[in-house]
Amino acid sequence: MAQDTSTPAERSTAHVDGNALAGALALAFGTDMTTATVQCGDCDDRHRVAATHVYLRCPGMVMRCPACGATEIVLTEIRGRIGLHVRRVTAISFA
Amino acid sequence: MLRWRQATVTQRIAETDSATTLVLDVPGWTTHRAGQHVDLRLTAPDGYQATRSYSVASAPARPLAITVQRVDDGEVSPFLADVARPGTAVEVRGPVGGWFVWEPNTTDRVVLLAGGSGIVPLASMLRHRRRLGDPTPFHLVYSARTPDRILYRDELAATTEGEHVVITLTGDDIPPDWDGETGRVDAQTLRRHLPAPSGGLTYVCGPTAFVEAAAASLAVLGYGPTTIRTERFG
Amino acid sequence: MSVTAGFGGRRGDDDERLPPGQYRVDDFPVLTAGPTPLVETDSWALTVRDDQVERTWSWDEFTALEVESVTTDIHCVTHWSKFDTQWAGVSVATLLDEAGVRDDAPYAQVYCYGGYTTNLPVEDLVDRVALVAHTFDGDPLEVEHGGPARLLVPHLYLWKSAKWIRGIRLVDHDQPGFWESAGYHNHGDPWLEQRYAGD
Ligand SMILES: Cc1cc2nc3c(=O)[nH]c(=O)nc-3n(C[C@H](O)[C@H](O)[C@H](O)COP(=O)(O)OP(=O)(O)OC[C@H]3O[C@@H](n4cnc5c(N)ncnc54)[C@H](O)[C@@H]3O)c2cc1C
Ligand SMILES: [Zn+2]
């Protein structure tokens, strides 16, 4: 298979941050998650949920590692129900 | 329990030609912390829904108010800024967010950097400070494109003891009578107006490009990353 | 749920070219679930494979293949549709032929620069119009719309038309992609309004 030789565009401004997920994540977890710390499953970086990069201009809501861009969580809100899909996360510690 | 609640617009205040404050009555609303936001949902007659986040503009314990800057080709903000009026029903969920908040007596000093509508949650912090008579020193640098885009202009100018407010215009046509700062928020501007980086917390809010640039400038000045809290509006 | 008086969203069109629940746009919205992946055409490659054979084209080899042009309506699951979009590229049927992959594999997995994936039945790629497109409106496909090359499967919701395509793999067992594994419909036919799993 062809190698992924791409590099992410620098200074992209297509994202917001984990604060934008406060409502959806609070519904999923029952508590505020923006202060929680996440460890990335790809690069091991530890960061607050508030500091993640979040993409909203797409079908769902995609939370990515601010250090390496890996997809950490995909959230959907379909017919009023939150769907939480954990992808590249090794640990979440609650504040 | 966090859930969608019925909200009714009770008051509409034109802040500028392109921004409107809506005061909302939400049965069962408790109170918020300064810096938090709500998710707001609109439903069309055919069931189509659109959800966006809006920061709470008012001080904690005051009636819930949001300020919406119209994005011309946007879906939700033109409705809120131009169409919604007293009696309009929307739904809100919140208040949410526990990171981008300021509590009195938690830090020696507060630095606020706002770009455009990013002033909204920072105004809630400033209003909170004034209402409580909290002595924490506040330094606000607020960047707006043109004078007619400055939100809460008179209120911001009415500084009380311990507050430093600087507004910088970034647009091309600076009116001749403008005697404030001009130009984008960069390390030089910040060096002129901010205290040396020791102690305290810094809150940065606005469009993503503004937040990235402002945070980079703070780093140049030696502000430690763990003392900076950012919120990107997109 | 309660209706907000005066809010119509961006919709309200009942053109029969619009699938249910869609509204028409004239601009070309940029949707993305991640940072835009930049790849130079000299390091770009496209692979088609199954469990036996694998064929990789460089950019020059790929653009030397026979070009097919289509004019088509496209439909995004986020409710917008755009009419009469003009594309050119290499048909997926041509790529599968040239690669010499088996013709009885039922499913395709699509891989992209930047990590995105999607899945679809092979018949949607060979029995219908399906391109790996490199040209939009007569110009090289812009990176925010998936350039250098993207998949184009216009009869399905646009998340199937994966931007920044890097490879297609034919398999015996279907495996849901990025959105399909997060509650979106596995097939995604806009005329049947197959937005979410269970629709
Ligand atoms: C935590 C948080 C707090 C916020 N607080 C405030 C606040 O206090 N006040 C305030 O005014 N705003 C606030 N915002 C921003 C607000 O949520 C909306 O993003 C804003 O009002 C625009 O919404 P809209 O529906 O009008 O525009 P949208 O329809 O979402 O479009 C906005 C712009 O993006 C472009 N766009 C939309 N979709 C795409 C796409 N797919 N590809 C390319 N471009 C696209 C549009 O063309 C338009 O220029 C906040 C955002 C966050 C995350
Ligand atoms: Zn990472």
pLDDT digits (tens, 9 = 90+) for B193-218: 999 998 899 999 999 999 999 999 99
Radius of gyration of chain B (CA): 18
d(CA C63, CA C39): 16
Ligand 1 binding pocket, CB closer than 6 Å: A 16, 19-20, 57; B 37, 52-55, 66-69, 71, 73-77, 117, 120, 231, 233-234; C 29-31
Cross-strand pairs, B50: B42
Q: For ligand 1, pick from B75, B77, B96 the residue to mutate: most ligand atoms within 8 Å of CB.
A: B77
- Could you tell me if residue B104 is inside a domain? no
Average confidence (pLDDT) over C189-199: 97
Strands of A10-50 (E only): list them: 16-17, 37-40, 46-48
pLDDT higher than threshold 90 for residue C91: yes
- Using the Cβ of C1 and the Cβ atoms of chain B, whether some distance falls under 8 Å is answered with yes
- Could you tell me if residue B102 is inside a domain? no
d(CA C196, CA C174): 17
Q: Which of B25, B11, B18 is nearest to B149 (CA)?
A: B18
For residues B190, B193, B199 and B204, what is the CA-based torsion angle, rounded to 10 degrees?
-50
Domain boundaries, chain C: 54-192
- Could you tell me if residue B103 is inside a domain? no
- Could you tell me if residue B196 is inside a domain? yes
**Domain CATH number, residue B10:** 2.40.30.10
Tell which of B33, B40, B232 to mutate to test the A interface (max A CBs under 10 Å).
B232
- Could you tell me if residue B190 is inside a domain? yes
Q: What is the pLDDT of residue B46?
A: 85
pTM equals 0.96
Q: What is the pLDDT of residue C1?
A: 65
The residue among C15 and C140 whose pLDDT is bigger is C140
pLDDT per residue over B75-122, tens digit each? 999 999 999 999 999 999 999 999 999 999 999 999 999 999 999 999
Q: What is the pLDDT of residue B199?
A: 87
B134 and B228 in a single domain? The answer is yes
What is the nearest CA distance from A47 to chain C, expressed in angstroms? 18
pLDDT per residue over C34-50, tens digit each? 999 999 999 999 999 99
Q: What is the pLDDT of residue C183?
A: 97
Chains that touch B (3 or more CB pairs under 8 A): A, C
pLDDT higher than threshold 80 for residue C78: yes
B122 and B217 in a single domain? The answer is yes
Here the tokens at position C184 are 């979106």
Bin C185: left if φ > 0, else alpha if -120 < ψ < 50, else beta.
Answer: beta
B90 and B176 in a single domain? The answer is no
d(CA B164, CA B142): 11
Q: What is the pLDDT of residue C12?
A: 57
- The pLDDT confidence band at residue C10, using thresholds 50, 70 and 90, is low
- Could you tell me if residue B165 is inside a domain? yes
Closest partner residue to A55 (CB to CB) among C33, C159, C167 is C33
Q: Is the peptide bond before C148 cis (omega within 30 degrees of 0)?
A: yes
d(CA B110, CA B140): 8
Average confidence (pLDDT) over B178-182: 94
> Which atom of ligand 1 lies at the shortest distance from residue B71's CA?
26
Q: What is the pLDDT of residue B8?
A: 98
Q: Are B141 and B191 contacting, i.e. CB atoms less than 8 angstroms apart?
A: no
d(CA B36, CA B95): 6
What is the nearest CA distance from C89 to chain A, expressed in angstroms? 19
pLDDT averaged over every residue in chain C = 96
- The pLDDT confidence band at residue B17, using thresholds 50, 70 and 90, is very high
Question: DSSP H helical segments within chain B, as ranges?
Answer: 77-78, 119-132, 153-157, 187-193, 208-220
Domain that holds residue B62: 5-96
Percent of chain B with pLDDT over 90: 96
> Which atom of ligand 1 lies at the shortest distance from residue B78's CA?
26
CATH architecture of the domain formed by C54-192: Alpha-Beta Complex (3.90)
Average confidence (pLDDT) over C93-112: 98
What is the nearest CA distance from B23 to chain C, expressed in angstroms? 16
Ligand nearest A65 Cα, by number?
2
B174 and B79 in a single domain? The answer is no
Q: What is the pLDDT of residue B16?
A: 98
Closest partner residue to B45 (CB to CB) among C3, C10, C21 is C3
Q: Which residues of B fall within a CB distance of 8 Å from A21? A: none
B152 and B229 in a single domain? The answer is yes
Q: Which residues of C fall within a CB distance of 8 Å from A78? A: 183, 196
Give backbone dihedrals phi and psi of C59, rounded to 5 degrees, phi first: -60, -45
Q: Which residues of A fall within a CB distance of 8 Å from C149? A: none
Q: Are B60 and B32 contacting, i.e. CB atoms less than 8 angstroms apart?
A: yes
B91 and B155 in a single domain? The answer is no
Final residue belonging to a domain, choices B50, B68, B96: B96
Average confidence (pLDDT) over C177-190: 98
Q: What is the pLDDT of residue A13?
A: 85
Reported ipTM: the value is 0.96
Q: What is the pLDDT of residue A4?
A: 95
B120 and B229 in a single domain? The answer is yes
B64 and B124 in a single domain? The answer is no
pLDDT higher than threshold 90 for residue C11: no
pLDDT per residue over C104-116, tens digit each? 999 999 999 999 9
In single-letter form, the type of residue at position A75 comes to: L
- The pLDDT confidence band at residue C13, using thresholds 50, 70 and 90, is low
Radius of gyration of chain C (CA): 17
Q: Which residues contact B37 (CB under 8 A, 6 or more apart)?
A: A19, A22, B53, B54, B55, B56, B94, B95, B96, B97, B121
Average confidence (pLDDT) over A67-82: 95
Q: Are B153 and B162 contacting, i.e. CB atoms less than 8 angstroms apart?
A: no
- The pLDDT confidence band at residue B173, using thresholds 50, 70 and 90, is confident
> Which atom of ligand 1 lies at the shortest distance from residue B68's CA?
11
Q: Count structural domains, chain B.
A: 2
pLDDT higher than threshold 60 for residue A94: yes
- Could you tell me if residue B101 is inside a domain? no
Q: Which residues of C fall within a CB distance of 8 Å from B45? A: 3, 8
d(CA C153, CA B68): 38
CA distances from C183 to A57, A78, C143, C186 (A): 17, 8, 27, 9
Count of Cβ atoms closer than 10 Å to residue B73 Cβ: 8
Average confidence (pLDDT) over B160-178: 95
Average confidence (pLDDT) over B125-140: 97
d(CA C109, CA B144): 47
d(CA C36, CA C47): 21
pLDDT averaged over every residue in chain B = 96
Strands of chain C (E only): list them: 23-24, 37-38, 45-49, 54-58, 68-75, 80-91, 107-112, 117-121, 131-136, 139-140, 150-152, 165-171
Here the tokens at position B27 are 């049965």
Final residue belonging to a domain, choices B96, B128, B149: B96
- Could you tell me if residue B105 is inside a domain? no
pLDDT higher than threshold 80 for residue C9: no
Average confidence (pLDDT) over C164-170: 98
d(CA B205, CA B150): 15
